[in-house]
Chain A
Amino acid sequence: MRGSELPRLVDALRGPIHVFVRESRARIALLVSGAGQVLAQHGFARGYHVMNVASLAAATHASSRALAELSGASRWEHLYHGGRERQLFLAPLRTPLGELILVVIFDADSSLGIVRLFYENLEREVAALPEFQQQPERADQSSFEQDLEAGLEYTSPEAASED
Chain B
Amino acid sequence: MNQLFSAAVERVSRVAGVRGALLVESEAGVPVVSELREGVNETAIAALAASLFRRTAAASETADFGRLNTLQLEADDGHVVAVDAGDLILVVVVDHDAQLGLVRYEAHRAAESLA
Contact = CB atoms under 8 A, between A and B. Distances in A.
A111 B43 CA distance: 12
Interface residues of B, number: 13
A63 to B, nearest CB: 24
Interface of A: 82, 110-114, 116-117, 120
B28 A112 contact: yes
Nearest to A82: B28
A119 B44 CA distance: 11
A111 B44 contact: no
Contacts of B29: 111-114
A117 B42 CA distance: 10
Contacts of B27: 111
B15 interface: no
Interface of B: 24, 27-30, 43-44, 46-48, 50-51, 54
Contacts of B43: 113, 116-117, 120
A13 to B, nearest CB: 23
Contacts of A110: 51
B44 A117 contact: yes
Nearest to B43: A117
Contacts of A116: 30, 43, 47
A117 B30 CA distance: 10
Given A111-B54, A112-B29, 12 more contacts: A111-B27, A111-B28, A111-B50, A111-B51, A112-B28, A113-B43, A113-B46, A113-B50, A114-B51, A116-B30, A117-B44, A117-B47
A59 to B, nearest CB: 26
19 contacts: A82-B28, A111-B27, A111-B29, A111-B47, A111-B51, A111-B54, A113-B24, A113-B29, A113-B43, A113-B46, A113-B47, A114-B48, A114-B51, A116-B30, A116-B47, A117-B43, A117-B47, A117-B48, A120-B43
Contacts of A82: 28
A117 B54 CA distance: 17
Q: Which 7 A-B pairs have the closest CB atoms?
A: A113-B29, A113-B47, A111-B29, A112-B28, A117-B47, A113-B30, A114-B47
Contacts of A114: 29, 47-48, 51
A69 to B, nearest CB: 25
A116 B24 CA distance: 14
Nearest to A111: B29
Nearest to B26: A111
A110 B44 CA distance: 14
